[in-house]
Amino acid sequence: MRPQQHALATRDGFSEAYTQHARSILIFLARRTCDPETALDLTAETFAQAFESRRRFRGNTDEDAAAWFFGIARNVLSRYVRRGTAERRALTRLGIEVPSLEPEDLARVVELAGLDDLRGAVARELGALTDEHREALQLRVVEQLEYDDIARRLAITEPAARARVSRGLRTIGRALDPTTTTIQERLT
Amino acid sequence: MTAHRETTGIVALDELGRRLDAVVERPRLRVRRPRRWAALALGLLALVATPAIAAVVFEGPERVEDKLPEVAAAIDRSDPVATGRALEELGFRVQWTLITDNPNRGRDGETPTRWRAVDAPPTGTRILSVSSRDGDFKVDPDTRNLQIEISPAGSEILRSHEE
């Protein structure tokens, strides 16, 4: 049993924790979505969910708080990748509109997240894929076709379509973040 | 409400923070734990009340282990392999996520930990948490898909959870 609860459970404590961690969460999400606007939407939902459940936070250090925020962000991101849209349930419940990113903000997030480098890396990896993998990836990710449709379009079996998409995503996922396979895991 | 906020350095994030500060939460249906004077009456009520009523009256436990006693009985935090085997025998499907300390934590955009899905718990790991497949601790009794986070013994994240 923990001796005392972190200040995060209080309103002021939450506000301070937000200021401390919001930027890191935004950059974390920007690196994984490659889109600052989407990253801001997901950041907003992350903190809305955290705000709603702040009294359930059981940690007692700032590191625990960071781990808790990132855990929620990870789940929000995972649902975004699975569904293709940013969830806004907690934001809606709290009645919060997400502010828009002004051009200066946009440039700052792109810079902080190193998105230009990241986009370059993705473009390089895409260019290095074989034609068949790139085409399968295009049909799945850009055109959002189901695997049986991809199989028909490419005149291959559905397992083969899944395998091509999976390999393509794994290759690009490694370029984005060598320590995780999140994108590949979530999309296949 | 805080009179003064530090800034995040990003205007939209600061604005979002102010909007969160300004939220007035709608009151939730929540019955607090009974005062001593009411305990006897509630105790008597419990004699005739169904478990469903009790669940409404009292705030429910938050951990998966509390909601699913059979999961609690199967968990051996020091032995994820045996835990996984026991849970599978009970009909649960387990997805393993390995959490390790991030050596770059503290830098912008760097998480305190790294994670990745693994097919089975590596040797030398301990159980960090048990949740639903979506990472939610709120589960219902019919939940059969679990996510178990494991971490190497001696890791910072494990120490902070086991303190």
| Secondary structure, 3-state, B51-78 | HHHHHHHCCCCCCHHHHCHHHHHHCCCC
Q: How many CB atoms lie within 10 A of CB B17?
A: 22
DSSP, residue by residue, A73-96: HHHHHHHHHHHSS---HHHHHHTP
For an interface test with A, the pick among B5, B7, B10 (most A C-beta atoms closer than 10 Å) comes out as B10
Chain B residue numbers touching A75 (CB-CB < 8 A): 134-136
Q: ipTM greater than 0.90, yes or no? A: no
Contact B83, B127 (CB under 8 A): yes
**What separation, in Å, do the N-terminal and C-terminal C-alpha atoms of chain A show?**
40
Chain A residue numbers touching B160 (CB-CB < 8 A): 59, 61, 63-64, 67
* Nearest-neighbour CA in chain B from A152: distance (Å): 31
Do A179 and B114 count as a contact with CB atoms less than 8 A apart? yes
* Nearest-neighbour CA in chain B from A135: distance (Å): 27
Strand pairing of B93-101 and B113-118? antiparallel
Query: Can you give the pLDDT of all 163 residues of chain B as single tens digits?
Result: 444 457 888 999 999 999 988 886 544 434 444 444 444 444 444 333 333 333 333 333 356 777 788 888 898 989 999 999 999 999 988 988 888 887 877 666 666 777 788 889 999 999 988 877 766 666 677 788 888 888 898 887 777 666 5
Query: Can you give the pLDDT of all 188 residues of chain A as single tens digits?
Result: 444 666 887 878 899 999 999 999 999 898 888 889 999 999 999 999 999 888 888 787 888 888 899 989 988 888 887 777 788 888 888 889 999 888 888 898 988 888 888 777 777 878 888 888 888 888 887 777 888 888 888 888 888 888 888 888 777 776 665 444 443 343 33
Name, in order, each residue with C-beta under 8 angstroms of B31's C-beta and a sequence gap of 6 or more: B56, B57, B58, B59
Q: Would you give the distance in Å from CA A93 to the centre of its chain? A: 22
Interatomic CA distance for residues B102 and B111, integer angstroms = 7
Interatomic CA distance for residues A101 and A86, integer angstroms = 16
Do B113 and A70 count as a contact with CB atoms less than 8 A apart? yes
Interior angle at CA A87, CA A85 and CA A93, nearest 5: 150
Residue type (1 letter), B92: F
Do A96 and B16 count as a contact with CB atoms less than 8 A apart? yes
For chain A, what percent of residues have pLDDT higher than 90? 17
Q: Would you give the distance in Å from CA A78 to the centre of its chain? A: 6
* Nearest-neighbour CA in chain A from B86: distance (Å): 26
Chain A residue numbers touching B113 (CB-CB < 8 A): 67, 70
Q: How many CB atoms lie within 10 A of CB B129?
A: 19
What residue of B is the nearest CA neighbor of A25?
Answer: B109
Do B20 and A30 count as a contact with CB atoms less than 8 A apart? no
Q: How many CB atoms lie within 10 A of CB B152?
A: 16
* CA–CA distances in Å: residue A126 to residues A81, A162, A173, A182, A186: 19, 17, 11, 18, 19
